Amino acid sequence: MVSDRINGLAAILAAVRAGAGITQPLLVERVGLGRSVVAQRVAELEAAGLVEGAGFGPSSGGRAPRRLRLCAGRGVVLGIDVGATGLIVGVADLTGRMLASRQRAIDVAAGPKAVLSLAESLAAELLEPRRIPVWAVGVGVPGPVEFRTGLPIVPPIMPGWDRYPIRRRLRARFGAPVWVDNDVNLMALGELHAGGEPAGHMLYVRAGLGIGAAIVMDGRLYRGANGSAGDIGHVAIPEGGAIICRCGNIGCLEAVAGGAALVREGRLRSPRLAAIPGLRPHHVVEAAENGDTAARDLLHRTSALLGGTLATLVSFYNPNRLILGGSLAPARDHVLGAIREAIHKRALPLATRDLRIEVATLPEEVSGVTGTAHLALDEVFSPANLEIWLPAGSPDQVPQNVW
Amino acid sequence: MVSDRINGLAAILAAVRAGAGITQPLLVERVGLGRSVVAQRVAELEAAGLVEGAGFGPSSGGRAPRRLRLCAGRGVVLGIDVGATGLIVGVADLTGRMLASRQRAIDVAAGPKAVLSLAESLAAELLEPRRIPVWAVGVGVPGPVEFRTGLPIVPPIMPGWDRYPIRRRLRARFGAPVWVDNDVNLMALGELHAGGEPAGHMLYVRAGLGIGAAIVMDGRLYRGANGSAGDIGHVAIPEGGAIICRCGNIGCLEAVAGGAALVREGRLRSPRLAAIPGLRPHHVVEAAENGDTAARDLLHRTSALLGGTLATLVSFYNPNRLILGGSLAPARDHVLGAIREAIHKRALPLATRDLRIEVATLPEEVSGVTGTAHLALDEVFSPANLEIWLPAGSPDQVPQNVW
């Protein structure tokens, strides 16, 4: 178990990270520790070079309290967001603000060596002009990951990546701790940190080429026993019939409501869409926005199919927010109605009473790479990890080479 | 936020509750507080009459450490388990051990006044010979409950119970705090406290007349944003077709794999079952055990249908234990195989790698009423509630009349 001191430091860091400009009196309220303990812990974080003053807050009679913020420039974190067809590498400061990024088209099926070599050279370009230590690396991949070890496990669309030691390779390359997670969890994390409000119990659903979900419980990602929680692309759905999925099973959600189905049906139903070479889901969304009624109907139908599965998950999980991300999200007006209808038709009144159903505020590429940075920061600043790299009386430790 | 002192007291109480006979050196290990803090908190709990010594543990060189246990007889808790057709009222000591109970046939549709009057008079019979204060009351009902307020919300099979103030009524009657939850959560709670091992991420599924689930996360019940989490009886399933459910929707899990379907199909398929007046699910289970192949096939088919939905939930939630309770559980050998097969066919290798699928160790009536007692005890001894009724320096406070 982590000591009270470390728990206090972690709680204060979390509050400073969530609300830059917070004052000590507000920290006392938020963190629930006494004034003198908060003052002592803040002094410790200042001595460690993690927190600094930045102006003054409103006075409540006496001396105006200092505003506190993270020493954002003490280090950087590296985010590597591997998608099925694209790679984004970014460098962020300790608040998660993206300082610079690079994007390249890839094929994830080219395997881990090719993809990670490219990621490493993009990272080197980004890091070269900055003489700042890399504190941690966050990595997202489009497949199931055993979170504890960072290993992809039998990932369906990532041949060659099964149990590839991503963590060991990148730790050796950058001399910093590495965490790996699946792409949907990272999009949810990016969205969580972008949102101004507490997230409660949230379901983040990515509807794009693939379909996946991320589970947020009391504002924190829930990953399940092995890290595969949220993997809903290949659940069987009532409307699935005998359609064969790329996974080999029949009647999967993704086979019916995923991007490949959207493209296939789009070609059949809309002459305008059939004329687009290399048709992709975002083309269907654009056509719907531009008044193509066949595209609108198709989005409506796809959303209703997705909504059927979401009704099951809402009944089971009883979230208070459902966020739709992925390439369907920009078609807000053509998808949310059908999803809401499907959920309200099936789920109990109690399960939907406080449920808000919305589209993501960030485009998926942005939430993904932002999420990789926040993954790294959430882990570096977690109580269990703070205890490792922030030992008592070693204020100039940084979290390198300790994992 | 709760003070460190109360958190420490709650952690020690939880460890003493989980392992009667625990010693102070073991508490230091389990709870992660220092020796002197543990000694101080234990002294406080002894002064409050909550914990007492009971013999001595093995010595590790010096004086043998005392074993500690809860002062089980300081008070009692009352458990009221309302089922669709039966009512069980029990009185338990502070360890959750059932001291006495009464069972009656009821029809929950008779409404809250009739059912709770009966529960109150059964409770009075049980309490009369005992001159011990009732510390708390736990109540289970067969429908969705808003946990925060204890109100049933639009419960499908409980006419007259919608928003009935169970808590207010019973608090006035017994002068003790009252918590209300749905029956499946209580069965899971009873099972959790019966199990010798840590539960991790568990899915408890009740398959009987109705179908429902309870979600355990890190050993604790997860109830969702409003308390309706686990309500899976009326999710749409691929094999649901156009079968009309008692809820008015079509193709619900319960309409196809619930007790009514089992009875209907049993009558059609097995002459032996057709001959039983008032056929119920347990008759099908008994017939299967006695070699009726039609009953066996029917249980296999029903389990496969249930397993299809459980595969979706396993993919989504990634538990490490799935416990099957309810009236199908005694048919272990005729149901677990089909459930395992359905789950392994659909869910990812990572999602099922560490998954154990088992039947409940307790019959549902026992787990239900045991669960109501543990609901009351878990809440009474939770940090947030301890802070209310165990103020500093008032060692003879009991948790009456403070909520």
Neighbours of B131 (CB within 10 A): 6
Q: Measured between alpha carbons, how far is B97 from B218 in angstroms, rounded to an integer?
A: 24
pLDDT for B194 beyond 90: no
Q: Does B384 touch chain A (CB under 8 A)?
A: no
A197 or A28: which leads in pLDDT: A28
pLDDT for B122 beyond 90: yes
Q: What confidence tier does B283 reach under pLDDT thresholds 50, 70, 90?
A: very high
pLDDT digits (tens, 9 = 90+) for A257-307: 999 999 999 999 999 999 999 999 999 999 999 999 999 999 999 999 999
B395 or A131: which leads in pLDDT: A131
Superfamily of structural domain A74-188+365-389: ATPase, nucleotide binding domain (3.30.420.40)
Is the separation of the CB atoms in B343 and B355 below 8 Å?
yes
pLDDT digits (tens, 9 = 90+) for B42-101: 999 998 889 999 888 887 777 888 999 999 999 999 999 999 999 999 999 999 999 999
Closest in B4, B229, B309 to A318, CB measured: B229
Residues 6+ apart with CB under 8 A from B121: none
Q: Measured between alpha carbons, how far is A88 from A372 in angstroms, rounded to an integer?
A: 10
pLDDT digits (tens, 9 = 90+) for B130-186: 888 899 999 999 999 999 999 999 988 899 999 999 999 999 999 999 999 999 999
CB-based contact B349 A200, cutoff 8 Å: no
Do domains B4-70 and B74-188+365-389 share one topology? The answer is no
The pLDDT score that the predictor gives to residue A1 is 57
Write down how long chain A is: 403
Closest in A226, A345, A354 to B318, CB measured: A226
Q: What confidence tier does A55 reach under pLDDT thresholds 50, 70, 90?
A: confident
- The token pair at B276 is 């039983």
Residue in the block written with tokens 């109540």 = B139
B31-B33-B36-B41 Cα dihedral, nearest 10 degrees: -60
The pLDDT score that the predictor gives to residue A400 is 54
Residues of B in contact with A32 (CB under 8 A): 1-2
The pLDDT score that the predictor gives to residue A395 is 43
Strands A151-152 and A145-146 come out as antiparallel
CB-based contact B316 A251, cutoff 8 Å: no
Look up the CATH number of domain A199-360.
Answer: 3.30.420.40
Strands (E), A167-242: 178-182, 202-207, 211-217, 220-222
Q: Does A21 touch chain B (CB under 8 A)?
A: no
Range with the poorest average pLDDT among A5-9, B38-42, B327-331, B390-394? B390-394
The pLDDT score that the predictor gives to residue A299 is 96
The pLDDT score that the predictor gives to residue A114 is 97
pLDDT digits (tens, 9 = 90+) for A133-163: 899 999 999 999 999 999 999 988 899 999 9
pLDDT digits (tens, 9 = 90+) for B306-335: 999 999 999 999 999 999 999 999 999 999
Q: Does A314 touch chain B (CB under 8 A)?
A: no
Average pLDDT of span A46-54: 90
Closest in B153, B313, B348 to A228, CB measured: B348
CB-based contact A308 B350, cutoff 8 Å: no
Look up the CATH number of domain B197-360.
Answer: 3.30.420.40
Assign domain B4-70 one CATH number from 1.10.3720.10, 1.10.10.10, 1.10.10.60, 1.20.1050.10.
1.10.10.10
The pLDDT score that the predictor gives to residue B379 is 94
pLDDT for B348 beyond 90: no
Helices (H), ranges, A245-363: 253-257, 259-269, 271-274, 281-289, 293-317, 332-346, 349-352
Phi, psi (5° rounding) for residue A26?
-70, -40
Listed by start position, the domains of chain B span: 4-70, 74-188+365-389, 197-360
pLDDT for B392 beyond 60: no
Chain CA centroid to CA B155, Å: 18
Q: Measure A28 CA to nearest chain B CA, in Å.
A: 10
Closest in B153, B215, B238 to A349, CB measured: B153
pLDDT for A131 beyond 80: yes
Q: What is the largest CA-CA distance in chain B?
A: 73
Q: What confidence tier does B196 reach under pLDDT thresholds 50, 70, 90?
A: low
Neighbours of B344 (CB within 10 A): 16
Average pLDDT of span B292-319: 96
The pLDDT score that the predictor gives to residue A397 is 56
Average predicted confidence (pLDDT) for chain B: 91
Q: Measured between alpha carbons, how far is B273 from B213 in angstroms, rounded to an integer?
A: 28
Average pLDDT of span A65-85: 93
pLDDT for B401 beyond 50: no
Specify the DSSP element, H or E, that contains A27.
helix A24-31
pLDDT digits (tens, 9 = 90+) for A324-382: 999 999 999 999 999 999 999 999 889 999 999 999 999 888 999 999 999 999 999 99
CB-based contact A226 B316, cutoff 8 Å: no
Chain CA centroid to CA A18, Å: 16
Is the separation of the CB atoms in A178 and A137 below 8 Å?
yes
Where does residue A246 rank: exposed (0-12), middle (13-18), buried (19+ CB within 10 A)? Answer: middle
pLDDT for A127 beyond 80: yes
Average predicted confidence (pLDDT) for chain A: 91
pLDDT digits (tens, 9 = 90+) for A307-338: 999 999 999 999 999 999 999 999 999 999 99
What count of CB pairs under 8 Å joins A to B? 164
